[in-house]
């Protein structure tokens, strides 16, 4: 199937696509070819639009000392470091490869840290992000090939509005033996690839896929920010930080959007599988 060229309009693409589709025998007549070509154009545009994803990660407590053995960094002697991305696994929205994680690793330098996504995410009641909830930034990016992790330091600016609340929460977690939860936010694109194209050892079976399936694959990632959030039931999927005490699934706006995305992607996947089987049967 022909792909739209850079800057090509839908009208021009369809005009170019129809003769090719008819020649290949994919469509039985011009009307069907027209529908297929319009669908292919829209699918291509959708695949090349960046959407926002979030995934869960953790904060580590690290003691750092200078050359004399003196503890440095924060007043309580604890440096804050987080694992932002773990490569070669299924994250929220699709499979995140280690190669893609390494490619964008240094782009996390200078990204901001906020609380409960309230510096970046807009709510239904107020569509404006709130800069008061940003409390720090990230640097000292490190790539861990062994564990396939991207980690970084968090520097908290004490003059921000909620810095003391954040520091207090970190101290509570450390004393309680609890690992603070953070949610990593980034823009990216998503496409369907065959399971056979995933890196060796990918846990596709744990995600409910079989070896003949197509899976969503994240690429062209653009880091946005990282948020400290309260651990919640929907956290591993959307990182919204809302806890439900009644054992029901989360109904927050973020998770509802993700459910809709997954439902749409599943329908598109089945259409693509049927199309590939049809092409294969003609060989």
* Domains in the chain: boundaries: 1-48, 51-264
For the question of whether the overall pTM of this predicted structure is more than 0.75, the answer is: no
Average pLDDT by stretches of 10, the chain with 283 residues: 82 90 85 87 74 80 71 58 87 88 95 88 60 92 92 91 92 85 88 87 83 88 90 41 37 48 63 69 64
What pLDDT was estimated at residue 250? 43
Nearest 5°: the CA angle 165, 79, 88 is 100
Q: Are 47 and 218 in contact (CB under 8 A)?
A: no
CA 54 centroid distance within chain:
5
What pLDDT was estimated at residue 152? 93
State the number of CA atoms in the 13 A half-sphere of 262 facing the CB: 14
**From CA 198, how far away is CA 126, in angstroms rounded?**
40
Residues 6 or more apart whose Cβ sits within 8 Å of residue 145: none
**From CA 248, how far away is CA 236, in angstroms rounded?**
15
């Amino acid at each position: 199937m022909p792909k739209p060229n850079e800057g090509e309009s839908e009208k021009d693409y369809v005009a170019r696509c129809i003769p090719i589709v008819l020649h290949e025998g994919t469509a039985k007549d011009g009307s069907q070819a027209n529908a297929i070509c319009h669908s292919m154009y829209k699918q291509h545009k959708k695949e090349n639009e960046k959407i926002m994803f979030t995934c869960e990660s953790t904060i580590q407590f690290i003691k750092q000392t200078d050359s004399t053995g003196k503890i440095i960094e924060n007043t309580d002697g604890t440096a804050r470091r987080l694992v932002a991305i773990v490569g070669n696994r299924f994250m929220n929205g699709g499979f995140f490869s280690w190669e893609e994680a390494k490619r964008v690793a240094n782009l996390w330098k200078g990204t901001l840290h906020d609380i409960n996504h309230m510096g970046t995410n807009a709510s239904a009641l107020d569509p404006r992000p709130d800069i008061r909830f940003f409390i720090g930034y990230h640097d000292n990016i490190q790539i861990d090939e062994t564990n396939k992790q991207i980690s970084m330091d968090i520097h908290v600016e004490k003059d921000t509005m909620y810095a003391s609340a954040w520091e207090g929460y970190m101290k509570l977690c450390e004393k309680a033996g609890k690992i603070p939860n953070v949610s990593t936010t980034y823009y990216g694109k998503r496409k369907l690839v065959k399971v056979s194209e995933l890196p060796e050892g990918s846990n596709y079976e744990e995600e409910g896929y079989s070896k003949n399936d197509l899976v969503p694959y994240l690429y062209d990632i653009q880091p946005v920010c990282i948020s400290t959030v309260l651990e919640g039931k929907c956290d591993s999927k959307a990182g919204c930080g809302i806890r439900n005490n009644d054992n029901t699934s989360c109904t927050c706006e973020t998770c509802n959007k993700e459910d809709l995305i997954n439902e749409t992607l599943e329908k598109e996947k089945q259409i693509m599988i049927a199309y590939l089987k049809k092409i294969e049967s003609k060989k």
